[in-house]
Amino acid sequence: MAQQYRFVFTAEQAASEGVTDHKKLPKLIENARNLAKAPIKVGAVGRASSGGVYLGANVEFEGLLPKFYIHAEQFLIANLALNSEPELTHLAVSDNGTVFQDPCYRCTHFLQEINNAHQIEILIKKRSRPRRLIQKPREPHARPIRLRKYPPGRTLSPSRGAR
Ligand SMILES: [Zn+2]
Q: Tell me, what CATH number does 137's domain have?
A: 3.40.140.10
Domain count for the chain, please give it: 1
Average pLDDT over residues 28-32: 97
67: containing domain: 2-142
Enumerate the H helices of 55-155 as residue ranges.
72-82, 105-112
90 Cα: distance to centroid of ligand 1 (angstroms): 16
Tens digits of residue pLDDT in 68-101: 999 999 999 999 999 999 899 999 999 999 999 8
CA distance 90 to 25: 8
CA of 55 to the centre of ligand 1 (A): 14
Q: Which of 50-54, 91-95, 147-151, 153-157 has the lowest mean pLDDT?
A: 147-151
Active-site residue numbers? 73
Distance 70 CA to ligand 1 centre (A): 8
